[in-house]
Amino acid sequence: MAAFRKIGTRHRADVCCKGQRRSRTFRTKAEAKQWALETEIELESGKKYIGTKTVADLLDRYVREVSVKKRGYLPEKRRIRRLRLDSLATVQLSLLSPSHVTAWREKRLTEISSGSVLKGWNLLHHVFNTAARKWEWLDKNPMTTVKRPAPNPPRTRLVADREVELMIYGAGYSRESAPETIAARMCAAWLFALETAMRAGEIVGIRPEDDRQRYVHLPTTKNGNPRDVPLSKEARRLLDQVKGDFRLTSNQIDRSFRRVRDRVGIDGLTFHDSRATALTRLSGVLDVLDLAKVSGHKDLRILLNTYYRVTADDLADKINRGAPPD
């Protein structure tokens, strides 16, 4: 049962149900009555009252309380903004079922690649888990019984020497002078990535205190662990050329790279292909354990199956180099 009284300019609601008492003050009496109704339902049923809240309401709360605490807050906020455009966002949480998730998955698979759908899937999965386990807005995650989209096969695209020269030309980059334009600094960052296998986000995050001369210390990486990346002579030259700071954001790198790539007529190349190219090259001089220290991979199978392209002839050469003379 609820009771209401006015205290100054505020309205107080007192609720007593099943021996439990709750009270709260509000700006208007209507707000006090609505809160009292929801609280009575919660105390009576033992569950959180979600009323007509929708998936969109859940996504909004997730952005405010969870996404905002992440390093990748802005990209995740954009992904959630895209999720809010789908019909799934209009579904009331009280009616949400696996069939809604299946319909969303099938629709998105007709629009984008399976790998891209998987990114949205993983985000939604955590949103629904949070709603069920932490906020009690759902009894259970409706995605647990729905088949996940298949990931895209690993990219095998490598950067050709001719493409490097074209990008240098298109970006107006010079090895003889400090890069001043965004395009030139992007190109310097890309060349640095080809030497180090570092991701764009890691490169733009380099600070003077991270430069240890022979290696760069990354205090935070994609997998959450710190990493030390050794520098080749060319990588050292590039870092010195930009005075230890490429002065770029990840978005600037992405936009500038695509603009220069299209201008010089290179098809299908991405900035991130520099990582595969660097790791493939390094696999010729490093064993898989050392390669994992450079790349930060925790799963050696990814390195072995995707980047570590040592042939039987290569292994025979290594064995014979270490064998005693006849």
Cα distances (Å, whole numbers) of residue 195 to 4, 118, 293: 70, 30, 15
Instruction: Name the DSSP class of 6.
Output: E
How far is Cα 310 from Cα 285, in angstroms, rounded to an integer? 10
| Nearest alpha-carbon partner for 54 in 134, 138, 113 | 138
Phi, then psi, of 82 in degrees rounded to 5:
-70, -40
Indicate the helix (H) or strand (E) that contains 237: helix 233-241
- Determine whether 222 is an active site residue: yes
- Determine whether 297 is an active site residue: yes
Supply 52's token pair: 């007509």
From 185, 199, 227, 261, the catalytic residue = 199
From 108, 227, 261, 297, the catalytic residue = 297
Q: Is 200 exposed, middle or buried (0-12, 13-18, 19+ CB in 10 A)?
A: buried
Measured between its terminal Cα atoms, the distance across the chain in Å is: 97
From 222, 258, 293, 318, the catalytic residue = 222
| Residues forming the active site | 199, 222, 297, 307
